[in-house]
Amino acid sequence: MDFRAGQTLLFDKPRQWTSFDLVRKVRNLTREKKTGHAGTLDPLATGLLIICTGAHTKRIESIQGQPKTYEAVLKLGAVTASYDAEMPEEALMDASGITAEQVGAALGAFRGEISQVPPVFSAIKVNGKRAYESARKGEALELKPRPVTIYSLELMPLDLAPGEYALEIVCSKGTYIRSLAHDIGQALGVGAYLRDLRRTHIGDHHVQDAWTLAGFEEMIKNS
């Protein structure tokens, strides 16, 4: 592969890796300094991360603007400060009375164009600093809501633990699935957070066509 001329590479990001961890690894393997990703995934999320090298870095903005599809697991009956499983559970409530039918009905309010407040544990800049930097120091933050579009939001028929529900979400650039999980929990009156997240599509790109890191390393070694 000619990484300087440009490659658009699909990866299945491992859990606990940041998006930049993977970019740095690919940069080191390909020895191409001009390398970037097209859409951040949180460290606890897995799935499709697109990395462009060389001349293909010009495509990053257009790739980022394409709809994204996620498979998420929502856990009812608690919230966390990060809106996901990174931080400990708080405000525990009994969610045993909430049915799948009630969850499905609540989803209707979140389809279409909605106003969403990003999590305080996010990379959005506030007063020149990343929000998560201030949040980790215990500093009070007030993030402004912004419009995002949820094109599709459906329950998935997966057999999960009591109080957990799987969702398939197709959404616009800038959507925080952690905020969506939190807001659904508030609408149901029992709280919720994002227990698991996997990105499966960005536009027509599918995670089934992605490299594993081990597979990519092997290809580089043998090329």
Q: At what angle do helices 213-222 and 19-30 cross, to 10 degrees?
A: 10
Q: Is 177 exposed, middle or buried (0-12, 13-18, 19+ CB in 10 A)?
A: buried
Judge whether 2 counts as a catalytic residue: no
Distance of CA 61 to the CA centre of its chain: 17
CA distance 49 to 206: 10
CA distance 188 to 172: 24
Question: Which position among 42, 84, 183, 196 bears the catalytic label?
Answer: 42
For residue 118, give the DSSP letter.
P
Tokens found for residue 166: 């799987």
Tell me which residue of 40, 5, 34 sits closest to 22, measured CA to CA.
40
Tokens 């995002």 identify what position? 148
Indicate which residues carry an active-site annotation. 42
